Amino acid sequence: MPQKFEAEHLEFDRMGIFREDYTSFLFDHIGLEPGMLIVEPGCGTGFLLRKIAKKQYSFGLLSRMSRKLHKKNRIIGIDIDPKLVHFGNEYVKFEGLSSVIDLKVGDVYNMSLVSNSADMAICHMLLCNIEEPLRAIKEMVRVTKKGGTLVAVEPDNSQNIYYYPKSERYTRLVQKANKFSIDGYKKVYGGDLSIGPKVPSLFLKTGLNDIQLYGHLSIVLSCGSQLKSPGRLLTTKEKELILGYNKKKWEEERKILSVAGIPKTEIDEIINYESKGINVLLEDSQNIRYDASVTAFPIYLTTGKKK
Ligand SMILES: C[S@@+](CC[C@H](N)C(=O)[O-])C[C@H]1O[C@@H](n2cnc3c(N)ncnc32)[C@H](O)[C@@H]1O
């Protein structure tokens, strides 16, 4: 059974990941062309598709004209979770993108799309969450036109970097927990959080051509300028969201780390340390200016062409 995600938490998480450097990395390599029919299985709330739509249909000065010039619903998202699809379509509407994006409930292993119809099938953090990534890629190949493109953007959490200058012990505990969590995630959800560099070999198995692999390291320095406005005051709504997001994250961590064999005392220590850090931040968000913690996550982007 794949992991379940809350729409609000997925949105919040994606806002953190899709900083300018990450978005440029994606657009530099996925090869968008005007008018393409694009399909994203495992689209969640459609965060990536909304970025793509804004890029494709230049929602600036020429927005209305460019939207009219193109056919409707050229961007299709498919997800197994009806709640995510429902909230995703609300976000699409709110951002004025309903004429180009349509999110539907469906299964990546059996998409209700005609064979050879899409110019591009793209997935983002889907293959790492499912038990049969090769079967999913085969289905993405089926719906893609000859000469069309497949793109998979996937992590390799085994290479994550963690450094917490205020506690060497916490740094070591988190590094250890991260290594164990790959095994725990596989046992609990059947996904492979280190699938990123393995995707090209899966693409080859499906007969794709011209396979390319690109990488990006998403680095976060807590006090750094990558955060939009470090230390700005948080609204009550934002505080509630941060608390809810972390509560869910810690529940998941507990489940995965205990299955992976990390002792309960160590799991408690990690979560207590993290929870204190969050409370310090919620008391006064300026405190982030004095935190030089570093986390870094490698992301792999694989592209291939259908013969
Ligand atoms: C980590 S989320 C990624 C969501 C989105 N691509 C993003 O990056 O924001 C993984 C998504 O895959 C969906 N999913 C899992 N199994 C699926 C399946 N068999 N078919 C379609 N979607 C699936 C989940 O519901 C979830 O929305």
pLDDT tens for 63-87 read 555 555 555 569 999 999 999 999 9
Our CA angle for 258, 108, 87, nearest 5°, is: 80
Q: Which two tokens stand for residue 239?
A: 């505080």
pLDDT tens for 224-263 read 865 555 556 778 888 888 999 999 999 999 999 999 999 9
Tell how far the Cα of 60 is from the centroid of ligand 1, in angstroms: 30
CATH, domain range 1-156+195-217+299-307: 3.40.50.150
Decide if 267 contacts 257 (C-beta within 8 A). Answer: yes
Residue closest to 127 by CA, chosen among 306, 300, 305, 307:
300
* Out of 71-85, 87-101, 124-138, 145-159, least confident range: 71-85
Pocket test for ligand 1, best of 4, 80, 104 (most atoms within 8 A of CB): 80
* Out of 114-123, 156-165, 279-288, least confident range: 279-288
Report the first-to-last Cα separation within the chain, whole angstroms. Answer: 33
Exposed / middle / buried, residue 33 (Cβ in 10 Å: 0-12, 13-18, 19+)? exposed
Residue closest to 227 by CA, chosen among 219, 216, 236, 239:
219
Q: Round to whole Å and give the CA distance between 248 and 268.
A: 15
The DSSP H or E segment spanning 296 is: strand 294-305
The DSSP bridge pattern shows strands 101-105 and 161-163 to be: unpaired
- Which residues make up the CATH 3.40.50.150 domain(s) of the chain? 1-156+195-217+299-307
Q: Round to whole Å and give the CA distance between 129 and 83.
A: 18
Q: Round to whole Å and give the CA distance between 52 and 27.
A: 8
Q: How confident is the model at residue 58 (pLDDT cuts 50, 70, 90)?
A: low
Our CA angle for 16, 17, 18, nearest 5°, is: 100
Q: How confident is the model at residue 281 (pLDDT cuts 50, 70, 90)?
A: confident
Q: How confident is the model at residue 61 (pLDDT cuts 50, 70, 90)?
A: very low
* Out of 31-35, 187-191, 232-236, least confident range: 232-236
Rg of the Cα atoms in the chain: 20
pLDDT tens for 153-180 read 999 999 999 999 999 999 999 999 999 9
Cα dihedral 198→200→204→207 (10° resolution): 130
pLDDT at 32 over 80: yes
Q: What percent of the chain has pLDDT over 90?
A: 79
Strand partners, 296: 161, 219
Residue 142 backbone phi and psi in degrees, to 5: -55, -45
State the maximum Cα–Cα separation within the chain, in Å, rounded to a whole number: 60
Cα 277 to its chain centre, rounded Å, is 24
Residue 108 CA: nearest ligand 1 atom is: 20
Pocket test for ligand 1, best of 39, 129, 137 (most atoms within 8 A of CB): 129
pLDDT at 152 over 90: yes
Q: Which residue owns the Cα nearest ligand 1 atom 26?
A: 44
Which CA distances in Å does 286 have to 219, 223, 232, 238?
21, 10, 7, 15
Q: What is the pLDDT, as a whole number, of residue 288? A: 85
Q: Which residue owns the Cα nearest ligand 1 atom 25?
A: 81
Q: How many helices (H) and strands (E) does the chain have?
A: 10, 8
